[in-house]
Amino acid sequence: MKKLIQIFLGILIAACSSGVHAQCSPSGQIGIQVFAPTPPAINPGNSQPGTVLFSTVVNNSTAGITSIIACGQLTVSYTGTLGPYNTESTAIPGIGARFSWSGGPYGLGTGYLPQTTTSAPYGSAGSPANFKWSTGTITLELVQTGPLQPGNYSLGTNSIKLTSGQSSTFAQMSVLASGTTTALPIVVVQHPTCRVSTPSIQVPLGSVPLKSFSGVGSTSPVQPSFNISLSCTGGDTGVMTSVYTTLTDQTNPTNQSNTLSLSTSSTASGIGIQVLNGNTVISYGPDSSVVGNPNQWLAGSTGNGTFNIPLTARYVQTAPTVKPGTANGIATFTMSYQ
């Protein structure tokens, strides 16, 4: 069963006052609800911290005007603590909310909060200055800040505030989990985990006559296929994991060609070994499971159950002269689940 993080999203703009601070005070009250558009379901899959899971431009065109008597530059910032990736924490494990503002009044810059105006909209008690929330574009993003935990959550109250140079709060925009809401489903699914069922595989290539080789690059017939087998469990129904593989030449670990070196105990020379997946000759790379490892290749995708990676092998001539004898090679395989 899919596990669902259900986020309820609404934006409420309201004027608030922290009292009179050296002639800095709001004039009048506003209380206007503004809602983001209904977003599609989001499946973060194997996303990493810093990934933007959802982004929307907030419809603040009807947000109105906050009349203020300002005595210093204005700053738009979070009411909470600034967290990683310029986010404010939410009630959801692994998810933070962040805002950006572009084209705002009084020289507010472009980028993530906090931002400070380049000029001070001074006013007087009889003629207050006007700060328009509806000026410029406000963008809300939900950002992954850590591991995502499947479950059902509501977005807690997250706010951005407008303050003067003396830290008087003139107006506050809050993201609330109450009142009229817009559903924001984020689907966090459980991917299967896999273990190798065939940790050691012997592949006999048999005896090959010298006449099979006619020059450098010529090959012997491929031998019957063998499998790297995986057993995968624990995933949600229908959820797939991409399986990547790297083969490493144990005799020459720095080898990144498509020819496996003969082991030091081999008595033959002038030939090497090729391993194929279908018609593709596999190249070798470092023994590592990191994403993007050199010559790491996609073996396929799997859900719960058994997953087989079919391979074949053959000899390939690597020198003008082939000397008969034993010809063995050792390769390891490293799996990466992405």
Task: List Cα–Cα distances, 34 to 58, 97, 275, 314, in angstroms.
Answer: 8, 17, 61, 67
Residues near 313 by beta carbon (within 8 Å), at least 6 away in sequence: 203, 205, 222, 223, 226, 273, 274, 275, 276
- 40 and 170 share one domain: yes
The parent domain of residue 176 ranges over 3-188
Residues near 144 by beta carbon (within 8 Å), at least 6 away in sequence: 44, 47, 48, 49, 50, 51, 52, 53, 94, 95
Q: Mean pLDDT lowest for which of 71-80, 139-148, 177-186, 301-310?
A: 177-186
Which is more confidently placed, 115 or 230? 230
- 51 and 182 share one domain: yes
As beta bridge partners, residue 162 has 76, 171
pLDDT of 239 > 60? The answer is yes
Q: How open is the CA angle 240-245-247, to the nearest 5 degrees? A: 170
Q: Are 265 and 277 in contact (CB under 8 A)?
A: no
Q: Mean pLDDT lowest for which of 10-24, 152-166, 217-231, 292-306?
A: 10-24
- 182 and 260 share one domain: no
Kindly report, residue by residue over 83-119, the tens digit of the pLDDT: 899 888 776 778 888 888 787 777 777 788 777 777 7
- 94 and 51 share one domain: yes
Residue 280 confidence (pLDDT): 92
pLDDT of 133 > 70? The answer is no
- 139 and 211 share one domain: no
Counted domains in the chain:
2
Split at pLDDT 50, 70, 90, the class of 5 is very low
pLDDT of 282 > 90? The answer is yes
Residue 51 confidence (pLDDT): 87
Residue 237 confidence (pLDDT): 77
- 209 and 79 share one domain: no
Residue 116 sits in a domain whose CATH number is: 2.60.40
Q: Which whole number is the average pLDDT over 216-222? A: 90
Q: The whole model's pTM is what?
A: 0.52
As beta bridge partners, residue 99 has 140
- 26 and 175 share one domain: yes
Which of helix, strand or coil describes residue 212? helix
Residue 69 confidence (pLDDT): 60
- 330 and 284 share one domain: yes
pLDDT of 290 > 80? The answer is yes
Strand pairing class (331-337; 241-249): antiparallel
The rounded distance, in Å, linking the Cα atoms of 243 and 45 is 14
Share of the chain above pLDDT 70, in %: 63
Residue 262 sits in a domain whose CATH number is: 2.60.40.1090
Residue 76 confidence (pLDDT): 74
pLDDT of 121 > 90? The answer is no
Residue 332 confidence (pLDDT): 86
The rounded distance, in Å, linking the Cα atoms of 162 and 72 is 12
- 119 and 257 share one domain: no
- 124 and 203 share one domain: no
- Final residue before a domain boundary, out of 162, 188, 214: 188
Range ranked top by mean pLDDT from 117-126, 138-147, 198-207, 310-319: 310-319
- Final residue before a domain boundary, out of 188, 215, 249: 188
Kindly report, residue by residue over 137-186, the tens digit of the pLDDT: 778 888 889 887 665 555 555 556 666 554 444 444 443 333 333 334 44
- 166 and 34 share one domain: yes
Mean pLDDT, rounded, of the chain:
73
- Final residue before a domain boundary, out of 172, 188, 204: 188
